[in-house]
Structures are given as structure tokens and as C-alpha cells.
Amino acid sequence: MRRFPRLGREFKRAAALAVFFCLAAFLHAGEFANGRVKLVLHERTGRFSLYYMTDTANRRYEPLFTDQDPRTSFLTVMVNDRTYKLGESSSFRVSPGSGPNPALVFESAFLTLTEEFIFTRSENSELADGIDIVIRAENKSNRASHIGIRFFLDTNLGEGERAHFEAGSRPVSGETLFTGEPGARWWCSRNGNYGLFGGFPSGGNFADELLVGNWKRLNDAAWKISVNEGRNFNLLPYSVNDSAVAYYFEPVNVDAGASREARLWFSAAGDGGEITAARIPAQILAAQPGVQAEAAQSPAFAESGGDIQADLASVRSLIDRIDSYIASGNISEEELNALELTLRQLRARYGRQ
């Protein structure tokens, strides 16, 4: 730990200015940043993109999955054996959520599905480096319905590597179905610089199955495919060396007026994409159903669109943290960098570089 005698004056002045910026800003919708993670909601298409800050000095973000056309990743809901591709089905309209966390809402006459995003951080990180996705499907009809959910992600970081994925401790270079067995509680797609990994605990609100395979082969299926274990990631002639991940939450009976919940968790791995236990929240390793990832302590400032009152509350919390460091007289380099990055993000959020 080091002593920083100027910490109080410099940081509290910056935080006070942040309060002013919160009150003075003009807001737009779409982008949210927390720590080293940026989330972009594409509200017209019902899609999202996720980025990781690989260079904190220059605030350079890199995509964690395919972002050239965000429509290649999407949600599918199955209601009474009929499937709907959310963001494209005329039965559902898309709108932004109105709660404290970023969200997309898909609404029809018979179902409301909310996709909520909660920033998280791994055990030894001072900054947010992941995201928890909570999907809630509410049955609006007047009778019980059979409701299932598929989350489909167009991965790309491992496509230049010999094996597109790792699962647990083994490489995955072909079509593979996982059902939550020990040793495959996380998967990773990474290049030489950073990676995307996701937890795969089973039971409770977590997925029943996880399938990796060729993107087009999975994309063209309304729900599932007949799995061909070990099949390569090609579907000639149009989809070569092109992989994706599909989470399946099998249909369950949901009473009229009731809802079901599905949960996923993703994070970034920097430093060459190295996977260590410290990067993975405890419930991902232990596969304990119903336990949430630790929420990120730094505020999820919306780079555009957001709640001014929520931002003000976050700034006050930030000031309290600064006061605690001043009282102790000590702060680590990582804690200091976390404070600086949070303030830079807030100033940029309100157009004050």
C-alpha cells in the first residue's frame, strides 16, 4: 500500500464536478460503461454488444464477440412449441427498460420478456470486468404456457486459434454439447491478447444445456439441431471456420400471470486471456444454483441514456469511498487506478473530458 497525501483534495474536487455534470447533461440512450466493460444496447433490433477496455491509458475497447452486425447474436423464446426470434418477430415490440439497470424489453399480447444487464467484477478486481444477464419471461395469457429460452452468441475471438474454445481444462475444436457436468463449468473464447469466458453452472435458473457449433448451422435452426459431436465449425460454402455458442433453458410450465427466470454470466480475461480462479466468481467454480456474481462496486455510468438520480447516488457513494481512503491514509495502485478510471468515465459520460 502507498500513501497519497493529495488524494482527498484532487479526487473530491473531481467528484464534486461530477455531481454538477450529472445535473447539467443532455441524455441519449444506448451505451453504458462500468470499469473495463462497455455495454451497447441496440434498441431497434433488440440486440446488444459487449466490449472490454484492453488499454486503460487510452480507453481503447475491443469487442468480446462479433459486433460488425449485432443481429448475429439474439434471443429466441419458445411458447407452446412455437418459436419467436426476438428483435425480428412481428409478435413482439422492443423497448428499453425503465429500471435501475440497463435492460431490453420484448412485449407481445401473451408474453413480456425482460433482458436485464448487471455489471459484475471477479474476486480480485477493483473494476467491473463482467456482466450478469437476467432474463425474465412473464406469462400474460389467461392460461398456463410452456416457455423455453435460447440465448445465441456469435463468438469470434477463438476463430484464429487451433481450438476455438476451451471448456474447463480441455480444448474444444468441434461441435460439442455440455450438460453441466463437472470439469466444464466455464468456457472461453480467446485470441492472443484477451478472451471472453462464460460460466456454465447447472440447475436452478441456469441453463440446462450449452452447445458450441458452426454459427450458420445453429442460426438456421428454429430451436435445436441433432448434435454431431466433433463436427468441425464449417458449413460450406458460406460459413467457414465460424463458431457460436447456444444456451438452452428448456421449456417449463408457467402459470398465467407467473414468470420464469434464466441467468447467464460472462466476463473478460485480459493479459493474454489467461484463466485463473481469481477471475471467476465463486459460484461459477462451485456451480451453486441461485447465487449471483458479486455486483461491481463502481457505478454503472451510462455513457448515453441513464438515470441522473442514480448517477448522483453513485457519485455520493464514490465520495464515501474516497473519504475511507483518506481516513486510512493508504490506497493501493489498483484502487487508485479504479478511482481514476471511474471518474474519467463519468466525465466522458457527461461530455467533460
Q: Tell me: the pLDDT tens digits for 40-93?
A: 999 999 999 999 998 877 888 999 999 999 999 999 999 999 999 999 999 999
CA–CA distances in Å: residue 256 to residues 76, 134, 143, 294, 297: 20, 21, 5, 33, 37
pLDDT at 295 > cutoff 90: no
Question: Positive or negative, the Cα torsion across 299, 304, 310, 316?
Answer: positive
Q: Do 57 and 63 contact (CB within 8 A), yes or no?
A: no
The confidence band for 311, taking pLDDT boundaries of 50, 70 and 90, is: low
263 strand-pairing partners: 134
pLDDT at res. 58: 83
pLDDT at 185 > cutoff 80: no
Q: What are phi and psi of 18, to 5 degrees?
A: -60, -40
Percentage of residues of the chain with pLDDT beyond 70: 70
Q: Which residue has the higher pLDDT, 26 or 145?
A: 145
Q: Do 268 and 130 contact (CB within 8 A), yes or no?
A: yes
pLDDT at res. 122: 76
As a whole number, mean pLDDT of residues 282-304 equals: 46
**pTM of the predicted structure, to 2 decimals:** 0.77
The confidence band for 240, taking pLDDT boundaries of 50, 70 and 90, is: very high
pLDDT at res. 219: 97
pLDDT at res. 305: 41
Range ranked top by mean pLDDT from 66-80, 323-337, 339-353: 66-80
Mean pLDDT of the chain: 80
pLDDT tens-digit map of 118-154: 998 876 677 888 899 999 999 999 999 999 999 999 9
Decide: helix, strand or coil at residue 128. coil
pLDDT tens-digit map of 165-181: 988 778 999 999 998 66
pLDDT at res. 296: 56
Number of residues that this document lists for the chain: 353
pLDDT at res. 179: 86
pLDDT at 315 > cutoff 80: no
Q: How far apart are CA 140 and CA 98, in angstroms?
A: 19
DSSP string, 276-289: -GGGS-HHHHHT-T
Q: Which residue has the higher pLDDT, 327 or 274?
A: 327
Burial class (CB in 10 A: 0-12, 13-18, 19+), 135: buried
